[in-house]
Amino acid sequence: MSPVLPALSASPAPVRPGFFVDPPADRRVWNDVSPEDWNDWRWQQRERIHRMEQLEKVIDVTDEERQAFVKSDAIFHLGITPYYALLIDRADPNCPIRLQSVPKMGELTVMPEDLVDPLGEEKDMPVPGITHRYPDRVLFYLTANCPVYCRHCTRKRKVSDPRSAVEVVRQLDQGIDYIRKHDEIRDVVLSGGDPLTFSDDRLEDIIGELRTISHLEIIRLGTRNPVTLPQRITTELCEMLKKYQPIYVHTHFNHTKECTTEAAVALNRLADAGCVLGNQMVLLKGVNDDWRVVKEMNLWMLKQRCRPYYIYQCDMAEGIAHFRTSLDKGIEIIDHLRGWTSGMAVPHLVIDAPGGGGKVPVLPEYILWREEHTVRLRNYKGEKYTYVDGADPEPK
């Protein structure tokens, strides 16, 4: 049976001058908050839900969620912005936003194959905060903070840990110096945590310094703010980013419920500033393991000038095994996208190989068999065709 998908910004809310989008009329416990505060990303950060008594005022907390919070908080904190909390279905424990943001008992199960550092980032770290795995690009870890602490986070060993935040502050200059001294690096991904938790000035200090490095051509920002805190995408931020193009922004939409008017405004502001936008979805059991959800979300993102980039198989991080689907599920989703909708709406399905092997693409089987110079193919409808390979065929 097809899932019931929410309407995607069918009737856009008004965008008020000097603000973001008019807040919803029913804001649950935040009804008395002014539009000015609601649209202030700093207010949203300060007022995050991080205690059970706050969460109980916003949703009908189940016994399992209450128990999971108590047992998991020392490992990985709760953190939900008021904006993202309003996307949660108050009564449905299986709401896809709720599954991503509210603890479940599955987080306490560590499988034998699970890894603390599933992508092997630490072993490829020549200086603290820099992961240099690929020949010409690096990941630069800037902060341990995020607006929302996603329950499927692959960096639970760092994110939400204040001790990690102190270390990150000390290593920023060291990371920039490493990039400056290695002229093979042409591409840097600023990540975390979420780098947009920094103020505009602090972020500009980092980006501006990186732009003085002659061999560095591309700067990328990895951020989930357009999803969980779209108020952060201010006109001031976009004016700053416009000065340092090319800037590529990789965001992280996972479900159509996240495709709001506020998110659309955020993405379009970034695109208007010259940023090239891409989305990196993580395949999550019970959240988006349905091709209909993925297709509708990807088509919505294209309308906001954000290209679906990757679908990640869920990593082998500790405490997220309950989110992992079979690889066949990811292949099934690609099979229902390729050919059935625009190629621009079809991302790459990848496994980020455990232990630091990098991204490995996975495709459905389109080549059925090969024999000498003959290749038997199937198309997206399952129809079969024969192609003659150009490897020195015999003349007729």
Q: Three-state secondary structure along 155-199?
A: CCCCCCCHHHHHHHHHHHHHHHHHHHHCCCCCEEEEECCCHHHCC
User: Average pLDDT, whole number, for the chain?
Assistant: 93
- pLDDT bin (cut points 50, 70, 90) of residue 1 is very low
Active-site residue, 133 included: yes
CA 126 – CA 188 distance, rounded (Å)? 15
Least Cα distance to 155 among 289, 281, 319, 312 occurs for: 319
In what helix (H) or strand (E) does residue 97 lie, and over which residues does it extend? helix 96-101
Could you tell me which residues come within 8 angstroms of residue 100 by beta carbon, excluding any fewer than 6 positions away?
A: 148, 150, 151, 152, 254, 255, 284, 287
CA 6 to chain centre: 20
Burial of 67: CB neighbours in 10 Å, binned 0-12, 13-18, 19+: middle
Give the whole-number percent of the chain exceeding pLDDT 90. 82
Fold (CATH) for 130-361: TIM Barrel (3.20.20)
Alpha helices in 243-284 (DSSP H): 261-272
**CA–CA separation, 89 vs 87, rounded Å?**
6
Rounded CA-CA distance 129/140 in Å is: 6
Q: Find the helix or strand (DSSP H, E) in which 281 lies.
A: strand 276-283
- Tell me the per-residue pLDDT of 98-151, one tens digit each, with 9 for 90 and over: 999 999 999 999 999 988 888 888 899 999 999 999 999 999 999 989 999 999
Q: Compute the distance between CA of residue 88 and CA of residue 286 in angstroms, rounded to an integer.
A: 15
Is 146 known to be catalytic?
yes
pLDDT tier, 395 (very low <50, low <70, confident <90, very high otherwise): low
Give Cβ neighbours of residue 355 (< 8 Å, ≥ 6 apart): 115, 118, 119, 120
Q: Out of 95, 150, 275, 314, pick the active-site residue.
A: 150
Residue 171 pLDDT > 90: no
Q: Any idea which residue has 């703010």 for tokens?
A: 225
Residue 2: which pLDDT band, with cuts at 50, 70 and 90? very low
Query: Mind listing the pLDDT tens digit for each residue in 214-258?
Result: 999 999 999 999 999 999 999 999 999 999 999 999 999 999 999
Catalytic residue among 40, 98, 117, 146: 146
Whether omega before 226 lies within 30 degrees of 0, making that bond cis, reads no
pLDDT class for 355, splitting at 50, 70, 90? Answer: confident
Domain ranges of the chain: 28-107, 130-361, 365-396
- Provide the percentage of residues in the chain whose pLDDT is more than 70: 93
306 catalytic per annotation: no
> Cβ-count burial of 36 within 10 angstroms (0-12 exposed, 13-18 middle, 19+ buried)?
exposed
Split at pLDDT 50, 70, 90, the class of 11 is low
Mean local confidence (pLDDT), 172-189: 97
The mean pLDDT value for 377-390 works out to 90
pLDDT digits (tens, 9 = 90+) for 154-164: 998 888 776 66
| Known catalytic membership, residue 359 | yes
Active-site entry in 275, 315, 324, 335? 315
Q: What is the pLDDT of residue 16?
A: 83
Told to judge if 314 belongs to the known catalytic residues of this protein, a careful annotator would answer no
CA distance 135 to 118: 20
153 is catalytic: yes
**Host H or E run for residue 360:** strand 358-361
Of the listed 84, 95, 141, 153, which one is catalytic? 153
Nearest to 210 by CA among 231, 233, 241, 164: 241
pLDDT value of position 164: 62
150: annotated active-site residue: yes
Max CA separation in the chain (angstroms): 82
* pLDDT value for 100: 98
Active site residue 259: no
Residue-level pLDDT at 209: 97
* Residues 153/119, Cβ–Cβ less than 8 Å: no
Tell me the β-bridge partners of 354.
Answer: none
Check residue 390 and give its pLDDT. Answer: 79
pLDDT digits (tens, 9 = 90+) for 38-77: 999 999 999 999 999 999 999 999 999 999 999 999 889 9
Banded pLDDT at 97 (limits 50, 70, 90): very high
Q: What local confidence, expressed as pLDDT, does residue 372 receive?
A: 84
